[in-house]
Structures are given as C-alpha cells and as structure tokens.
C-alpha cells in the first residue's frame, strides 16, 4: 500500500516504486514512459532512468542515490539527494512513480 508522504521528502525514509499505470521502454539510455490514463508521453534523462530502474519499492531513495547515482556521476551525496527528492516528487505528481514512507513488503 502506498503511504502518502508530505514534502519536503526525506530520502532516507522515502521508497519509490514504478506506477503500474504507465508503459515504459528504454531507448538509447533514456526511458520512454506513456501514461495509460491520459496518453501523455514522457522521456526520462539518463539519471532519472537510473532512478526509475532502481525503483523497486524496497530500496530507500538515499540508498539508490548513494549506490547507483553517485558512483556513476561523481556528485556529492547531499546534492544528489536534494536533486533526486525534487525529481521523484515531480514524477509522483505526474503519476509515473509512487512514493511511500515504508518499504514494500517482501513477496511470499
């Protein structure tokens, strides 16, 4: 279940998962996403695509940034976290990502 969380986000306790209401396919390193509800097409840049691919609902946003973004892009964790928080807030408002303050339960 998605728990509503308020901004500003705390990336250490924010868990992101990919919305089931969208279609997605990676093309040339960028994720193409289309909303099934209003047919809007989005394109995620390379960084946002990394975050999307890591959005398993179980890994905190901070862990994603520290383990996936920072090693790849040579950026300070605090700066990267602030940017990532703004990004996922925006993607959640567009219905592309779902945010939760708790990790998704493990599947049995």
For binding to other proteins (CB under 8 A), which residues are involved?
Answer: 20-28, 32, 34, 36-37, 39, 41-43
Shortest approach of other proteins to residue 44 CB, angstroms?
Answer: 12
Tokens standing for 10? 């705390």
Shortest approach of other proteins to residue 42 CB, angstroms?
Answer: 8
- Measured distance CA(26)–CA(44) in Å, rounded: 9
Kindly tell me which of 26 and 56 has the beta carbon lying closer to other proteins: 26
Kindly tell me which of 43 and 79 has the beta carbon lying closer to other proteins: 43
Shortest approach of other proteins to residue 70 CB, angstroms?
Answer: 27
């Amino acid at each position: 279940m998605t728990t509503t969380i308020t901004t500003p986000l705390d990336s250490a306790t924010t868990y992101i998962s990919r919305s089931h209401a969208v279609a997605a396919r990676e093309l040339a390193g960028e994720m193409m996403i289309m909303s099934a509800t209003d047919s809007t097409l989005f394109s995620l840049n390379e960084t946002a695509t990394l975050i999307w691919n890591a959005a398993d609902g179980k890994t905190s946003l901070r862990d994603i940034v520290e383990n996936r973004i920072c090693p790849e892009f040579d950026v300070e964790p605090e700066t990267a976290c602030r940017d990532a928080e703004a990004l996922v807030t925006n993607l959640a408002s567009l219905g592309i990502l779902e945010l939760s303050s708790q990790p998704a339960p493990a599947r049995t």
